[in-house]
Amino acid sequence: MKTILVLMDTLNRRSLPTYGGGASTPNIERAAEKSVVFQQHWSGSLPCMPARRDLFTGRTAFLEKGWGGIEPFDRTLPDTLREAGIFSHIITDHYHYFARGGENYCQSFTTWDFHRGQEGDPWHSIVSEPEKPEAYFGRVEGQYELNRQLFRREEDFSGPRTMAAACDWLELNKDEDNYFLVVEAFDPHEPFDFPPHYLDRYGDDYDGPRFDWPAYGDANVPENALRHLQVRYAANLSMIDHWFGKLLDTMDRHQLWEDTLFIFTTDHGFLLGEHHMLGKNQMHVYNELAHIPLMIRPPGGVSGGKRISGLTQTIDLMPTILDYMGVAVPETVKGHSLRGLLEGTQEKVRDAAIYGYHGMAVNVTDGQFTYMRSPQSADNHPCYIYTAVPTTFRAFLGRDGAESIECGRFLPCTVHPVFRYPVSVPGQHYDNNRRVMETQLFDIRSDYAQQHPLTDPATEARMTGLLKEEMKRAEAPEEQFQRLGLAEN
């Protein structure tokens, strides 16, 4: 028995023809035809590293902390498989795993393979500053300007190298069994960079300042530039889809489908002008960000082409993999195996799904409504980060305000002591939340684009109840209920 999990970072569900999109992704569609397609699959913790902690621990962790490493008390998927005698390998060009704040993810695999060069990966080393374009929208960063100098052919780009390495690994291990393989492409994450011939598929005629890396926030760019950015995203997706096809070819050639659990998904989506915004992290977690693709082909291809409407989340993938691999699910896991949905013995595994960023609004959906519960005060108090590994995105935690850091057994999920870092100060405005201070309710069956907030006290009360139940199930720290005005008297 084998499991192959393919991740593409920042993969917009709405771009894929399987979900009604218009990008050119024939190989993702090829995988969809072999697989069961999930209609109501949702993220949990956002963005990149929090999503991966959900994936590898089966717990929704954004209520405890945001960006950071695997904790010493986490029971991870690769470690659980290793204890059962199952080999694991990850092939990735996602450089955040190897930057500060990405500790202990790849290192829990039996072996790992890292392909360098994406975004700000400190790879190509030249002391002098590189030349930058005179005119551009969004971002241009020196390190990536250096890295991209090494992408002379399509085969040199990090995403293609990652997929090619996965093909090589499968060739080398074609006769092996009892393994877990993760193939993870950073594409189509920004910057949207690729050989120019991929633009030809989309008829792009843009002739303006360079725009391949948007700054997060308001979409304050000309309409033609915005359209160009959308096309560049689609073209970048088409490139990684082409190389994904080579992985599928390898699986076909060696008849790897019959005894393999195959999973294809992402961590989150990306705004490309919807809601008049670009990117992620700074705004409400709209459907474009949280409603993500999931395709699963069980061993033997049971029910290929079927569509499942039951609610699922990223945390459900760990118990699903363990179930099929015949390994007991740790008690710490909060997700549910999807095997019953896949094999038709269950219609649902959950009534609601929660998702969000640490310290921002907390969101819940039941598949018909989405409810975005905002902090109740501008100071966002009380709010804490809990961790035993004091790092975050390319930085250490606690270098400022060290006198306010505490250590104790604060988390109900573990007796392991953790640091508690305050991220809010009473009476002091918490600027990170400036775009999410309005609680909103949407009926996404009639208003999927979330343009028309509802005023419906009965539905809001029901969704509030679901939110509280799911937060309790996730073992949210008590102050999270206070921060959102949900504490019980």
> Which of 343, 368, 384 marks a domain boundary?
343
Please indicate, yes or no, whether residues 265 and 383 belong to a single structural domain of this protein.
no
What is the per-residue pLDDT for 305?
76
pLDDT at 156 over 70: yes
- Overall number of domains in the chain: 2
Whether 95 and 219 share a structural domain: yes
With a CB cutoff of 8 Å and minimum separation 6, the contacts of 233 are: 12, 15, 188, 190, 192, 270, 272
Contact indicator for 177, 2 with CB cutoff of 8 Å: yes
220 and 358 co-located in one domain:
no
Tell whether 348 is covered by a domain: no
Q: How far apart are CA 192 and CA 278, in angstroms?
A: 14
Classify residue 489: in a domain, yes or no. no
CATH code (residue 78):
3.40.720.10
* Residue 219 and residue 248 in one domain: yes
Q: 250-274 pLDDT, tens per residue? A: 999 999 999 999 999 999 999 999 9
Residue 488 covered by a domain: no
Is residue 338 located within the same domain as residue 358?
no
Domain containing residue 163:
2-343
What 140-144 contacts at long range (C-beta under 8 Å, 24+ apart), as own/partner pairs, is: 140/210, 140/213, 141/213, 144/119, 144/120, 144/191, 144/213
Q: 25-65: per-residue pLDDT in tens?
A: 999 999 999 999 999 999 999 999 999 999 999 999 999 99
| pLDDT tops 80 at residue 489 | no
Q: Establish if 106 belongs to a structural domain.
A: yes
Residue 400's pLDDT band, with cuts at 50, 70 and 90, is confident
Q: Are residues 186 and 221 in the same domain?
A: yes
Model confidence pLDDT, tens digit, residues 75-112: 999 999 999 999 999 999 999 999 999 999 999 999 99
pLDDT in tens, 11-28: 999 999 999 999 999 999
What residues does 183 pair with on adjacent strands? 6, 91
Single-letter amino acid code for the residue at 266: T
Q: φ and ψ at 379, to 5 degrees?
A: -85, -5
Give the pairing type, strands 277-279 and 217-218. Answer: antiparallel
Last residue of a domain, one of 322, 343, 364: 343
Q: Residue 112 falls within a domain, yes or no?
A: yes
- 91 belongs to a structural domain: yes
Kindly state whether residue 478 falls inside one of the protein's structural domains: yes
Q: Of 367, 265, 114, 354, whose CA–CA distance to 105 is shortest?
A: 114
Q: How far apart are CA 121 and CA 96, in angstroms?
A: 8
Regarding whether 312 and 450 lie in a shared domain, the answer is: no
Indicate whether 220 and 163 sit together in one domain.
yes
Whether the model pTM is above 0.95: yes
On whether both 439 and 311 belong to a single domain, the answer is no
Does some domain include residue 267?
yes
Q: Is 398 left (phi over 0), alpha (psi -120 to 50) or beta?
A: left
> Are 137 and 83 found together in one domain?
yes
My answer on whether 41 and 91 are in the same domain is yes
Amino acid at 129: E
